[in-house]
Structures are given as C-alpha cells and as structure tokens.
Chain A
Amino acid sequence: MTKTDPAVDLAPLTESVVTGLPPEQVRDDRRKNAFRKPVSSLIRHAILIAAALLMLYPVIWMVVSSVRPNDVIFREPGIIFDSFEISNYVDGWNALSYPFNTYLLNSALVVLGSIVGNLVSCSMAAYAFARLDFTGKRFWFAIMLLSIMLPIHVIIVPQYVLFSQLGWVNTFLPLIVPKLLATDAFFIFLMVQFIRGIPRELDEAARIDGAGHPRIFLQIILPLMVPALATVTIFTFIWTWNDFFSQLIYLTKPALYTVPLALNAFQDAQSATDFGEMFAMSVVSLIPIFLIFLFGQRFLIKGIATTGIK
C-alpha cells in the first residue's frame, strides 16, 4: 500500500483538513510539500476518478439507454453509445397527457414550498431546542424524535382522511403545509446539532450589546449556519423531488402530477413499458437536482472557517 491510499492511511485526510487552514499556513505547507505534492495529488486524482467511474456506472448506463431504441435496451446490455436516438427525448416529453414541463413545474412548486417551509420552521424550532432553556425541553425533544419513527404507510391513511376533510386533496397543500409546520423533524435535529457547534460566546457578546433572541437568531446564528441551511435545502429538494408515495396519494388530477408520478405513468408491470422514453425523462428530471447540488455546494462549504469569524 502506498502512503497515499486514502483507504488505509490517514495522512492525506489530516492533510486535507489542515490545508483548510488560514492562508498564511497553507502557504507554509506548500513550501514544505513542494516536492511531494504533484505525485501525491496525481495518485489521489487517479483513485478518485476510478471511484467516481464506479459510482457513476449506473448513471452512465441510464444516459446511454436513454438514447437507445426501446427494443435494444434489454437485449443488448453494456454501456457503449451504439446509437443515438434523440427521439426518446422528443417523444417522452410529449408522451403523457401534458408536456413534461408541466410536471417539472409542478414538482418545482412543491419543492420550493417545502424548502421555504423547512428552512423557516425547522431553523426556528432548532434555535429553541439548541439555545433556549424551557420547561419540558427534553420531553418535547423526545416527542420530536418519536414523530419521525412511525413508517409513513400507517400515517398516510389518517392523514389523508384529515386533508380530505379540509378539501385539500388534489392541491399541493397537503405536501407543503406540513413542511411549513416543521413536521420534517429530521431537519430540526440536524440544525440543533449545528447550532450547538457554534460557540455560545457569540450569543453572549450579542446579548451584552442588548440583542434579544430574534436578533441573535437572525443576525448571529443564521449567518453562521449557512452550511446547515444549504444541507437542509439540498435534502429537502431531493427528498421532495423523489417522493413518490405521498404525491401519489394526494394528487389525482393529471394536470397536477409531479415528476415521480409522471415517470411512473410510463410503466406498468403488466404491460409494455417504454423504457427509452422513461430513461430519457429520468435523465431530464435529474438535471435540476444535479444543478442544484453543483451550485448549492458553494454554500455547503462556506462555514465559519471561511467566513473569518475568530
């Protein structure tokens, strides 16, 4: 094993952590590593590229299949671009009751509402759990965790009855309103953990300056937990974008169908499925999440270390 194998030796790990140090020290490191670095980073790139290819094989297979004629997909396995059938994209886009952009837009609406809801309501609840001292805190925290331990399949029927009484079936409300009310308690817990990592001295200093809790929350805590907020955004986006079951149950009008429901409409185990078109539209539906991640990660890695709080 070479010294640079990341699976075995921790040296590169510590190195990469430490290279995140303030600029003057990084410069210091560069000088020290002037000789070792090119070789080491070449090997690391090689390993990472190999790992990335392995990780991406199924994704590549899907992209290749999306430009193959339907009858070839399963008869000829492998991932060689042997044909380029753009028609899967054109036909797939128009294969269902509405053009595919309708479903993309519907999903975007649900996702947007969910993200706003989760960011606002969960961060508020997290602040209370992490920073405030109140009666029955441990009890409520336990309740919060318990609320995410029941599988959705037994919750959905009573919940459907409830929303159906409110006349909310066939609207996006049952999908968005719960998020505005912080029912995705995972995110509260996540943000509690992050807030607890922020030194209390900062709050104290603000308090001495006369700031109340709303100001401490908005002006101290929120800016410092941008990575956590980015994480919540990315996760909410993906979970909502991929969520099939609750969208299936609550949305019955094709005009309101979201991407997972639309993709599902391509297939039926009892009859033929147009896989070429389904894969093509799967690729289309992956693009927004991929872009969100690509650009979102900028905020993800923008932590205290880089915002210069000392």
Chain B
Amino acid sequence: MRGNLRRRLGVVAAIGAATTLALTACAGNAAPADEAPELELSDEPVTLSFTWWGNDTRHAITEELIAAFEEEHPNITIEPQYTDWAGYWDKLSTSVAAGDIPDIIQMDEKQLSTYAANGVLMDLGGLSSVLSTGDYPAAVLGTGALDGTQYGVPVGINSYTIIANRDLLDQYGVDLPDDETWTWDDFVDTAAEVAEASGGAIAGTQSWGFEDGGLNNWLRQRDSALYTTDGEVAATEEDLESWWEFLLEATKAGATPAPSATIERESGGLAESFTATNQSAFGPWWSNQVQALRDASGQDLVALRVPSTDGASDGWPYYKPSMFWSASSKTEHPAEVATFLDYLANSEDAADLLLAERGVPANERIRDYITPKLDDVNQTVVGFLDDLAPEVGDAPPATPPGGGAIEAIIDQHTQKVLFGELTPDQAATSFLAELQQALDDAAV
C-alpha cells in the first residue's frame, strides 16, 4: 500500500501548494492600508526594500544615494533590488503574486494604472505630512494620479524629440532645418536629401512606429489621443491609418532605411541604433536618451522639436514623466517609506547624486538647483525642455490598466506594415481590436 500512501502525499502537497497560492493572492488584495495622517517614525531599526530598473550607471549612483540616506537616518536600512527593464516586470509581478511587494517601487507610466487598479500601490496622499510635493507643477504631478488618488511621484520629465546629427548634416552639406516651423513633409524631404547626398552611405532618418511616443504626438497633432480620460481607446482608424501611411511614404521617398535593416537595428536597442552608430542624420527619441546617444555616437547630436502637420508647434507637445516613485500598499513602515520618498523627491543631496540620469527632474526647485551642475549635453536638454514650455499642452490621459501591452502591439503592426503584410488600414483595424482586447483582459 506504499504506492497509495505516496500518491496521497502527492495530492496533499498539491492541494497545499494550490491553497497557499490562492491564500497569498488573497492576502495581496486586502483592503488598502488605513490612511495615517500622522506618521510616526520608529526608533527601532527598519528595513525597506527598494526596487528599480536600469543599467550599471544607474545602479551605482542609486546605491550611493542609498548610502547617503542611511547616513542621515541610521535606523533605516534600504535594501536595493535592481535589474534591467525586461526582467524587472517579471520579477515585480511574481513577487506581488507571492505577497512580497517591495516597499518602494520605481514605476512606469504604462504600468502605473495596472498596479494601482489591483491594489498594489499606496495612496501617497496619506503620506503628505512627510512627503511634500509642493515644488511640482500641478500638471506634472497629475500624471501620477488616477481618479484623484496620487499613486506615483513623477521623477523626471521627458519630451519626444527628433535627434539630428549635426556632424553628418555638415558633412553632406545639408542645413539644419528650423524646427519651430518644420512640417512632416519638410522632415522627410530633408532626410531623403541627406540620404541621397551620402550616396546611400547613411540613412536619412530612423524609422518610427515601435513605441507609443511617436503615435501619441501624431494623434495629438490631429486633436485626437490614444485614450480618453475614462480609459477607453480614443484613437480612430483614420488616425492610425494616416500614421502608417506616412511611414510608408517616407520609406518610399528614401528617407528611412530598408525595413529589414530597421527591424534588425530595432532589436539591438539603443546601442546598435542608427543614431548611436552615426548611420542616420535624424532619429525619433525621448529627450532623456540624448546623453546615452551622445556617449555612444561621439558626434554632435541635437534635440529638435517634432515636426507638425501645419508647421506650428502649439498645444500638442507634452511632458511625459520618465518614471514614478511609488510605494507598496502593504508596507509596514509608511513613515519611513514617506521619509525616503521625500528624500528622493525633494533632497538637494539626492539630486547632487542623481543629476539627470533618470530624466530632467520634474521637481522645479530641484531642476533649477541642479541645472548648473549638469554637463553640457544635459544642459542643452534642459534648455530644449524649457524652450518647449510655452508650447506644451496637458499631458495625455493616463494609460488604462492593461495598456502596457501597447508597445508590443505597435511594434508588431508596424513590422507588418513595413513588410507589406498589412496595408495601413488593415493594420489600423487590427491594432484597435488588439488594444481593446488587452484593456478588456485587464479589467478588474
């Protein structure tokens, strides 16, 4: 009968594990922590876990910052947990499933609502006695709020930009265009001109259509948007069709590289991009990537405004928060979490270490404080963002839960359009269906 006993043991273990899973998952969704207007710091030693994504430079400066904080608060220990972007989300979701949520979380705009809607993130409003957000412009701060609840403090601000390589433009005798008046057609013409002048040695511009920044700008120029404020899809088939149509036109005009070259570089990330390897005169990027691109390319790169349909840049450019600081709704030490968040958000000592590595600070006081200390490249980025200020409109409505899937959906459809497997209007229909499906799936 030993066989039976063994089998029974196996079943018991299986049930045990399954129940554990269900139980922890339940625990992970308990009622939100009570608001604690008066936060009391503990005298006992407290350990907080702090997780972020990034590369080795970021890991190094963040660990320095932790050391500086711990010196000021000897009873608080911050336990760092870091990985790259891709591994970060696998790890975070797995640990949430087991109820081990890190106390302080570096959060992305596209994931914020998903995590907030599932009760993972803390309402930071309850920390306001310690965590001050007074130096943030209301519009920027609002990007971290959903339905009036503050789930994240914006870290840096970013803007979509066309990066031009001035050395390459000089080399092929093409003038730097005036980015305050240029249209999409000007952009494609100039790019095609450079490509032709180089005899095919370099591309005019990198292709676009692999993430939502470019699409957001395109939609905003057409007085549309990706989402409504209610979290529905707002973009129409016509909007999307025109976007891919224009990409095809640019490809036909010889402004962008061949699709296969584009796709190949795309999977290589920033380091292998045309811009970073000085193989294209223009490329669409986020402003906080200028520094990394400059380092990789070694040439004179400058950030330009995104072209427009009518040559006027007003109301549609926007500041995107590069990331947020969020906290776990399950933390046992809200006061210490608030103290650390306040340090990250408002401390000049922290800013001295962070500089603009996570984007130009969204906190205006800190931005003014830090700007003179930045290197030339980052100063030009701050200058670019400042110049843009009068033209900037409201931030686009927040990504609804499940919207994190958009990047993969865009990438997949752009590839199909470039390789001629879908026409722009077919792609538009399919794109909207898949995005809607992702949102429906995530509905809680």
Residues of chain A having any CB pair with chain B under 8 Å: 70-71, 74-75, 95-97, 135-136, 156-158, 160-162, 164-165, 169, 244-245, 248-249, 252-254, 261, 264-275, 277
Contacts and interface: CB of A to CB of B under 8 A. Distances in A.
A170 B394 CA distance: 43
9 contacts: A71-B297, A158-B18, A158-B21, A249-B91, A265-B84, A266-B56, A268-B55, A269-B86, A273-B269
Contacts of B416: none
A162 B17 CA distance: 6
B277 interface: yes
A267 B91 CA distance: 17
Interface string B258-297: 0000000000011110001110000000000101110111
B272 A74 contact: yes
A269 B326 CA distance: 22
A71 B271 CA distance: 9
Interface of B: 3, 17-18, 20-21, 24, 49, 51, 53-60, 63, 79-87, 90-91, 94-95, 97-100, 269-272, 276-278, 289, 291-293, 295-298
B91 A97 contact: no
Of all A-B residue pairs in the complex, the 7 with the closest CB atoms, nearest first, are A272-B292, A269-B269, A268-B55, A164-B98, A252-B81, A161-B98, A268-B84
B355 to A, nearest CB: 14
Nearest to A277: B56
B292 to A, nearest CB: 4
A101 to B, nearest CB: 17
Nearest to A268: B55
Nearest to A156: B94
A245 B297 CA distance: 32
Given A253-B79, A271-B54, A96 B59 contact: yes
A139 B244 CA distance: 56
Given A252-B91, A274-B56, A269 B85 contact: yes
A272 B296 contact: yes
Contacts of B94: 156-157, 160, 249
B55 A271 contact: yes
A169 B100 contact: yes
Contacts of B17: 158, 161-162
A164 B24 CA distance: 10
B20 A268 contact: no
A71 B294 CA distance: 10
A270 B56 contact: no
B296 A261 contact: no
Contacts of B269: 267, 269-270, 273
